Structure formats: structure tokens, C-alpha cells
Amino acid sequence: MGLVFQQFLEAPAVYVCSSCRAHLARASDVVSRGFQGRLGRAYLVEAVVNERLGGSEDRVLMTGLHTVCDLYCRRCDEMVGWKYIRAHDRAQQYKEGRYVLEQSQLLVVEQQTASPPNIDRVLARFMGDIGIRPDSPATAASQ
């Protein structure tokens, strides 16, 4: 199979595949936490990465007929949910293009978002390393 390109999400909280820890979705992309998956509680999410879709098929779910694709983790091929391709009931059409992630297939990871380094602190440490005290103004030495 070779190398699998993996995407990493930058967000304070990320849902990852419970078997291989590949990033799957930002917690902020969750539209609803009240969904029912095949394995129990599930989330409806706006966008997913590192995914692989199975073939589309028509399935009768609790809310009627839907065309869906099974959703797999691209890294380890674990089934993690499904994607709604088409909802045949007009009231369910908000789901189209969105994904259901099975809660039991996920772990949540809190991450530190990348913030730019504090330039004053970096400079002070550098000047300290080369023997200059940053808190004494250079002009003081010339008087």
C-alpha cells in the first residue's frame, strides 16, 4: 500500500481514530452530538480528513431513506461512520455532504494551538547567551 498521506488538523480539540490516532475532525466542526450510529452514540460533523469512502448505497435509517457511503479511516481502514450523500426526505437534507462519526471509534485529543513565539523573550535569551544584558540601554555605556 505504501505511504499514506496524512493530514493534521490545527485546532484546540480534535477527534482522532481510536485505533491509529489519525486526525479525523475538529471538535468545532461538530454540528450535532445527538446522533445515533450503528455502534451507539454518534456525531454529525461538517468536515472530515484522512477518510476513505466506500461505495454509495441506499439505506433506510430512522429518519427515512438516505443514500450514504461508509466512512473509513484512511490510515488503518477502521470503519468510523458514514457520509450522507443524499437525503430523500426534504426535512433531512441538511445532512447532505455531512458525516456521521461513531463516538466509540473516536478519541478526543486536546492540543496546544501554535502561537507565535514571544519575540522579546527570544531576543532576551539570545542576548543573554552572548553576554548582553537587554535591560541596560546601550546608551548608558557610552556616558
Instruction: Kindly state whether residue 106 participates in binding Zn ion, applying the rule CB under 5 A.
Output: no
The correct pick among 9, 14, 17, 106 for binding Zn ion (CB under 5 A) is 17
d(CA 51, CA 45): 13
CB-nearer residue toward Zn ion: 72 or 84? 72
CB-nearer residue toward Zn ion: 23 or 66? 23
CB-nearer residue toward Zn ion: 21 or 86? 21
Least separation, in Å, of the C-beta of 112 and Zn ion?
A: 23
Q: Which three cell numbers stand for residue 47?
A: 468536515
d(CA 51, CA 76): 10
d(CA 56, CA 111): 34
Neighbour tally for 46: CB within 10 Å: 13
CB-nearer residue toward Zn ion: 26 or 75? 75
Neighbour tally for 109: CB within 10 Å: 15
Q: Which residues between 63 and 92 bind Zn ion (CB under 5 A)? A: 73, 75-76, 78
Instruction: Kindly state whether residue 20 participates in binding Zn ion, applying the rule CB under 5 A.
Output: yes
d(CA 83, CA 99): 4
Least separation, in Å, of the C-beta of 2 and Zn ion?
A: 17
Q: What three-state secondary structure class fits 116?
A: coil
User: Residues in the site for Zn ion, rule: CB under 5 A?
Assistant: 17, 19-20, 22, 73, 75-76, 78
